[in-house]
Structure 1
């Protein structure tokens, strides 16, 4: 996908979360560790919720902000994620799964931070701050959920 505007970034982010959710769900049935299965299903639900939330931003965000150009970041800092799930989570333990998912979310957060720093208009800064906060809150919730699973 060619990312040129913030609208494209939001569409890319939505697809990122959608693909990650599908991959996590796919691997949940293939992982032999019961805790890993529960974690993968739990994370997949969170990713689905994020997909819907980001989709809401695509529909409701300020048009002026969505039309802001931002193609330079993705050229210099490509965020890698697979469109197809090759079951990368099926053999991982819960800590490893959480590490991979956290790292992927950190990359998205870094993208939003960068775009916030480059924003020329207030609407763009507000949008990037909202999205960054959303990602940060979701990863905190996921980590708390993992910690609760450990206590079981």
Structure 2
């Protein structure tokens, strides 16, 4: 690998939707965006796994619910960076929404999640990760591009 090479860290995010509301989690003890309200379902894509499979796996792990791949609506793919040369900060995120799932969302990882709450897309908390705010604002306005970028 030469000095200009980098690795891309892939992740999948799912926003559960009910009418004009979205379910968010209050992050804690993760070392990333703690104290902020973020997607209730999110995680890194594992080796050999698709973004859809990641979304479904994380739904079980984080909320104890079952998502069916056909019930997931892709909303944007985001390429993002924190603006540094750190290869771990070259990321691609797939964002989905879901309006149908099996089970009742509950906190399954209490060490990482302090709370779950439903918020209107037009009345989100102030502390949302900036790259997620971009997506949530796009969902609220109905003007979200299929491809987005953040940090460039």
What's the TM-score bracket when you normalise by the shorter of the two chains? Answer: under 0.3
Give the structure with the larger strand fraction. 2
The TM-score with structure 2 as length reference comes to: 0.27
The TM-score with structure 1 as length reference comes to: 0.27
Give the structure with the larger helix fraction. 1
